[in-house]
Structure 1
Amino acid sequence: MLDYPEFNPVAIQLGPFAVRWYALSYIAGLLSAWWLIVKMLAQKSLWRRAPFDGKPPATAEDIGDLFVWATLGVVIGGRLGYDLFYGIFYCGFWPGGRDCGGLPMAYLTNPLNLLAYWEPSSLHLFGQTFHIYMPRLLGMSFHGGLIGVALAVVLFARRRKLNILAIGDLACSVAPIGLFFGRIANFINGELWGKVTDSPLGMVFCSRNLYALYRGCPAGLEPRYPSQLIEAFTEGILLFAALQWAIRRFHLHERPGLVTGLFFAGYGLARASSEFFRDSESMIAGWFSMGMLLSIPMWAAAALFIWIAYKKPEWGRRPS
C-alpha cells in the first residue's frame, strides 16, 4: 500500500483568507498553456505548408488577449456547468448522490450557491471578532469549463477575424496541461478518490491536514485507488503527448478541426476509462456514472470535428 503524503490543501493562509493549491493549479495551467501556444506560433516549421502558407493562425498578442477571455470561460463555465450538470440535472434525478447536499433545491433557498459554497469564518480586527461567510469555489465541471472556453474562442476569433477551427486546435493542443494540474490539485485536496482496493496502488486518503480541514476523513480509512493520479496521467500527460505528436510528427493541425476532434475523443476515452477506478460521487446505474454519460456527447463532437476537418478543407483557410 502507498502512503498518502501529508499535503496541506491550503497553500497560503492570511487570517480568514486562504489561497488553495486548487486555485493555484488553475493559474499554473493557464499560464503554461499560454506560454506553450506562443512557443508553437514561433515555430515556423509548423506553419510553412497549406492552409497556413507560412503565416501562423494568430499572433502572440492575440493569444495573450484570448487567454483573458479563456480564463473567464473556464471559471464561469466550470462553475455554472457544475450547477447545471450535477447540481440540477444529476441531483434532480438522483437526489441521493453523495455530494448533492439538498441540491437542487438549495439553489432556490440561497441563489448564491450557484456561484460558490459559503463557509462561516471569523475575522479578528482591532480586538473585535466579526463572523462572516467566505466563498469557497468548489464544484467545478470540466465539461462546463470546456463549453465556456469554446464560447470564448468562437467570440474572440470572430471579433479578430481569425480562423475559429485553427484557434480551437491550438487551445485543445494545450488543454491537457490544465487537466494535469487540476487532477494534481484534486489529489492534494484528498477529493475525487478512487474505489476501495487491495492492490499495491491503494492508499488511505487521510492525513492530519485533511482531518483538520474536513473535521474527519471523508474517504474513510480503507485503501483506495489514487484515481486523481490516474486521471492526471491519462487526461494530462498521455493526452498531451498524443496531441503534440499528432501535430509535430503528422502535421494533423493542417486540417483545422482535426486536433480538436482528437482532443474530444481522447478526453472522452480517458475520462470514461478512469471512472472504473474512481469512486464516483455521481453514479447513475450500476457501474455507469455521470462522467461516462458526459463522455458520449464528447465523442459525438469529436466525430463532427473530424468530419469537418476531412470534408470541409476550405474552412481551414485564413479569412481574407
Structure 2
Amino acid sequence: MLLAIPFPDLSPEIFSFQIGGFAFALRWYALAYVIGLLAGLFIIRRAVSRPPLWPEGRPPMGPDQAEALLTWVILGVILGGRLGFVLFYQPSWYLSHPAEILKLWQGGMSFHGGLIGVIAAGLLFCRRYGVAAAPVADCMALAVTPGLFLGRIANFINAELWGRPTDLPWGVIFPGGAAQACAGVDGGCARHPSQLYEAGLEGLLLGAVIWFVAVRLRWLRSPGRVTGVFFTGYGAARIFVETFRQADAQFVTPDNPWGHVIRLGDWGLTQGQVLSLPMLALGLAILAVTLRRPKA
C-alpha cells in the first residue's frame, strides 16, 4: 500500500473516570449530539427573531417555543433513531435480544429512523402549541445540518461506518480486523473516509445551500420550500455517498459483496439508498409545489 493515510491516534472517549463501582465516560458521539442540538436551537431562535424572513413578517413561533421544540426533537431523535436502526438494519437480532435495544451507549442509530421520529415529534409539537407545521419544518431544516456534520465527524473518530476499499491517495487505513480485511490485499487495507464525505456534503455543503436559499433568497416566505431543499439535498447526497460507503455486514454475502438489498442485475441499491430515495422524491415534490406558489 504505497499511498494511504494511517488512522490518527484518536480515542472515541474524551475522558473517563470511575467512582466506586460506577464508570463514566464522555464520548465524542454523545458530545456531537449535544452540540448539534444546541446549535440547532441557536439557529432556530435567531431565525424566529427576524420577522422579515417570514410570510407577512410573522415567525411561526417565539424564541421560548423554540426551546420547547428542542425537547420534542430530542425525544424524536433518540426514540426514532434507535428504533429505526433496530427495524431497518438488524430486526431479527434485536427481536431475539430485546434487552439490547435499550443499550444506546453501544451505538446503533439510524438517521432515517431519527428523521421519522423528528417528523412525528414536530407534528405533535405543532398540535400542542397550535402552530403551522410547514414553517416549523422549515425551522428544523435550517437547524439540522450542524448536527449532521458533527455526527459524521464523530463517526470518523469512532472509526465506524468506513467506506469501501480504495487505492486513492486519501484512503485511510482504519483500525480493526474488519476494516483492514480486503480480498487480495496484504499489510492493511485503505478505505474511503466516507464519514468525511458525508460530513462535507450533508453537513457543510447542504447547510450552506439551505442558508443561502433561506436568508439570501428569502425562501422561508414560502412555507415548506426550505424543507423541500433539505429533503432533496440530503437524499441526493446520501445516495451518492453510499456508492463509496461499505455496506452493513448483515447485507453482505459472497454472491452479494456490495451489500445491495435490491438487486438489478450487476447493479443494485444499498439500504441507505433505498431509505433515501423516498426523501429525494418527497423533496422534489415539495419543491415542485412550492415553486409554483408565489412568495408571501
- TM-score, scaled relative to structure 1: 0.79
The alignment partner of 1:136 has SS state of: helix
- Correspondence 1:154 to 2:141: no
**Quick one: percent identity of the two aligned structures?**
41
Map 1:206-225 → 2, pairs under 5 A: 206=175, 216-220=176-180, 221-225=188-192
Map 1:147-226 → 2, pairs under 5 A: 147-206=116-175, 216-220=176-180, 221-226=188-193
Query: How big is the shift at 1:307?
Result: 4.3
Note if contact 1:34-1:67 (Cα within 8 Å) is conserved in structure 2.
yes
Map 1:1-320 → 2, pairs under 5 A: 1-15=4-18, 16-47=23-54, 51=55, 53-88=56-91, 104=92, 106-116=93-103, 136-206=105-175, 216-220=176-180, 221-281=188-248, 282=251, 283-284=259-260, 285=263, 286=267, 288-310=269-291
Superposed CA RMSD in Å reads 1.9
Query: How big is the shift at 1:67?
Result: 0.2
Q: Which runs of 5+ in 2 are unaligned?
A: 181-187, 252-258
Runs of 4+ in structure 1 deviating by more than 3 angstroms, as ranges, are 310-313
Query: How big is the shift at 1:146?
Result: 0.4
The answer for the alignment partner of 2:255 in structure 1 is none
Note if contact 2:36-2:146 (Cα within 8 Å) is conserved in structure 1.
yes
Q: Which runs of 5+ in 1 are unaligned?
A: 89-103, 117-134, 207-215
Letter in 1 for 2:217: F
Q: Number of paired residues?
A: 268
Cα distance in 1 for residues equivalent to 2:293 and 2:119: 20
Note if contact 1:276-1:287 (Cα within 8 Å) is conserved in structure 2.
no
Note if contact 1:115-1:137 (Cα within 8 Å) is conserved in structure 2.
no
Query: How big is the shift at 1:107?
Result: 2.6
Q: Which range is displaced more, 9-18 or 272-281?
A: 9-18
Cα distance in 2 for residues equivalent to 1:86 and 1:222: 25
Note if contact 1:205-1:219 (Cα within 8 Å) is conserved in structure 2.
yes
